[in-house]
Amino acid sequence: MFVPLLDAPGPPSETSLVIAVRGSQVLLSDAEPAEEEGIFLGTLAGRHCWAIDVDGDGEPDGFLDLRMLWTSVDERTWAVAGRAVQLIEWRRTHRFCGRCATPTAQMPGERALKCPDCGLMQFPRLAPAVIMLVEREDGKALLARNAMFPSGMFSCLAGFVEPGETLEEAVRREILEEVGVVVGALDYRGSQPWPFPHQLMIGFGARYESGDIAVDGTEIAEADWFTPADLPATPPGGMSIAGRLIDEWKSRVG
């Protein structure tokens, strides 16, 4: 069990888990960092967890891209490593006030950086994004290939939530914009932090209502309706919520 905390709850009872971050690469080790060097993340199964920034320090021996780490650790440890990457990147990119350019300082009692001059507070950046699996009454699901995907790889539709927009409005807008389809009933399917670089993925199921597929030709290269029997290559179910949405649909209708 991971317990997020701002400060260490007293001396550690065992060796801490230290996550060194270099860009989006990480190195997990058992160590005791100097507190002024790191960001305390919380406790994982009672162990103190720290993130330290080593960008540009020495050779990257032993570091793994965060995606590659998935197969080497359990899901909870991977999520803590993702938290470390996001918080280190936030601190790197918010060293100065965005209003007056004064160096920022850690705010006591908050996961925030504060400008000592003008008082502007900057919290860790989080970008909400919706991801959805559209289904028809015949059991088929709509999957699409993003223009950045390799040939043959399909996934769920997804997109960022815009200012002033509800999650449900974002779902309907993204589906209409990307494939020209109108959906009706929506249901919430779950969420997942996605540290590439700082997203929160909110998953939905969406019921097809009308329209023929017409891809936007920019973000989406191709899209089609599929049954579990004729499914193309899709993301693996464990690591991504896209894979989980697809796996749940396959087990339900297949």
Residues 233 and 117 in one domain: no
CATH number, domain of 149, equals: 3.90.79.10
pLDDT in tens, 22-48: 988 999 999 876 666 799 999 999 999
- The reported pLDDT for the residue numbered 238 is 79
- The reported pLDDT for the residue numbered 32 is 73
- The reported pLDDT for the residue numbered 237 is 76
Residues 153 and 245 in one domain: yes
User: What is the percent of the chain with per-residue pLDDT over 70, rounded to a whole number?
Assistant: 97
**At residue 164, what is the residue type?**
G
pLDDT(145) > 90: yes
Number of domains the chain contains = 3
Residues 197 and 241 in one domain: yes
What's the whole-number average pLDDT of the chain? 93
Residues 116 and 76 in one domain: no
Asked which of 93, 114, 149 is the last residue of a domain, the reply is 93
pLDDT(219) > 90: yes
Residues 68 and 182 in one domain: no
Q: What residues make up the domain containing 78? A: 2-93
Residues 131 and 246 in one domain: yes
Residues 218 and 134 in one domain: yes
pLDDT(246) > 80: yes
Tokens of 133: 């699996």
Residues 108 and 190 in one domain: no
DSSP string of the chain, one letter each residue: -EEE-SS--SS-SSPEEEEEEETTEEEEEEE---GGGEEEEEEETTEEEEEEE-TTSS--TT-EEHHHHTTTS-HHHHHHHHHHHHHHHHHHHTSB-TTT-PBPEEPTTSS-EE-TTT--EEPPP-EEEEEEEEE-TTS-EEEEEETTSPTTB-B-EEEEPPTT--HHHHHHHHHHHHH--EEEEEEEEEEEEETTTTEEEEEEEEEEEE------SSSEEEEEEE-GGG--B---TTT-HHHHHHHHHHHHH-
CATH number, domain of 45, equals: 3.90.79.20
Averaged pLDDT, 40-66: 87
pLDDT in tens, 163-193: 999 999 999 999 999 999 999 999 999 999 9
Asked which of 44, 75, 93 is the last residue of a domain, the reply is 93
Task: Please provide the distance, in angstroms rounded to a whole number, between the alpha carbons at the two ends of the chain.
Answer: 34
Residues 115 and 224 in one domain: no
Residues 182 and 245 in one domain: yes
pLDDT(129) > 90: yes
Residues 89 and 99 in one domain: no
- The reported pLDDT for the residue numbered 203 is 98
Q: Beta strands 113-114 and 105-106: pairing type?
A: antiparallel
Model confidence at 236, pLDDT cuts 50, 70, 90, reads confident
* Sign of the C-alpha dihedral computed for residues 145, 167, 75 and 70 taken in this order: positive
pLDDT(58) > 70: no
Contact 131, 202 (CB under 8 A): yes
Residues 87 and 131 in one domain: no
- The reported pLDDT for the residue numbered 50 is 95
